[in-house]
Amino acid sequence: MKLPEDVIKRAEQNIEPFDTEGFVLGKGPVPAEIMMIGEAPGENEVYDGEPFTGRAGKELDKQLSYLGWTRDDVYITSVVRSRPYKWEKKSGGEEVRKANRKPNKKEVKAHAELLDVQIEEANPRVILLLGGVAYQRLIDEKGKISEVIGEKLETPLLRYDQDNDTYVKTERSYTVIPLYHPAAVFYNPSIRESIYESLDRLQSYL
């Protein structure tokens, strides 16, 4: 995807003050029939320069193949393009290492313009939100994704208004389906059945 250089540069500069590393833009066909928006890259993704190449990516691939899709059928990106990390002690020792963490609101804002431009450029027919960070960024700042998983929403998106430092609703509506983040099943294996139910529902809408 060709994006304006100044938008990328601003995103890179905006994220500099935070504990993040790398920059993963996204991957897939443009224009995209389907756009998937995750949270932020992790260690593997930053190393590979591609979204979802680590453990969550393997889970995502299983879900794509359940739907009969491949990565070439979807444009995949995330709310934040750099890997947010925290320093963590290795168990039992003094040695520290970088661990992945969820992006905070300031980091989300640092890359908000880039995501808005990227959605416009991809111009997808359907947007799939993978997890709560994407849902809160684009639909409802305080909302709970668990209440709308697998539902087909015809809804405006939240766009970042730089002049007023706030998010505003777009005039047009988009078709959006919130889904579990592929990594959610690692923390809560009991949701596996409802993940596949949500994919069945998704399949029935498309």
| Contacting residues toward ligand URA, per CB under 6 A | 38-42, 45, 51-52, 56, 78
Residue 71 vs 204, nearer CB to ligand URA: 71
User: Using CB atoms within 10 A of its CB, is residue 93 exposed (0-12), middle (13-18) or buried (19+)?
Assistant: exposed
What are the DSSP E strand ranges found in the chain?
Answer: 20-21, 34-38, 74-78, 83-89, 96-100, 126-130, 153-155, 158-161, 166-169, 174-179
What are the DSSP E strand ranges found in 120-206?
Answer: 126-130, 153-155, 158-161, 166-169, 174-179
* CB of 60 vs ligand URA, minimal distance in Å: 8
Residues 6+ apart with CB under 8 A from 22: 41, 45, 46, 47, 49, 82, 83
Residue 25 vs 153, nearer CB to ligand URA: 25
Residue 14 vs 78, nearer CB to ligand URA: 78
* CB of 73 vs ligand URA, minimal distance in Å: 17
Residue 8 vs 25, nearer CB to ligand URA: 25
* CB of 195 vs ligand URA, minimal distance in Å: 15
Amino acid, single-letter form, for residue 97: R
Residues 6+ apart with CB under 8 A from 35: 28, 74, 75, 76, 77, 119, 122, 124, 126, 127, 128
* CB of 79 vs ligand URA, minimal distance in Å: 8
Residue 40 vs 115, nearer CB to ligand URA: 40
* CB of 204 vs ligand URA, minimal distance in Å: 25
* CB of 179 vs ligand URA, minimal distance in Å: 12
Q: Residues 135, 127: contact at Cβ < 8 Å?
A: no
Residue 162 vs 188, nearer CB to ligand URA: 188
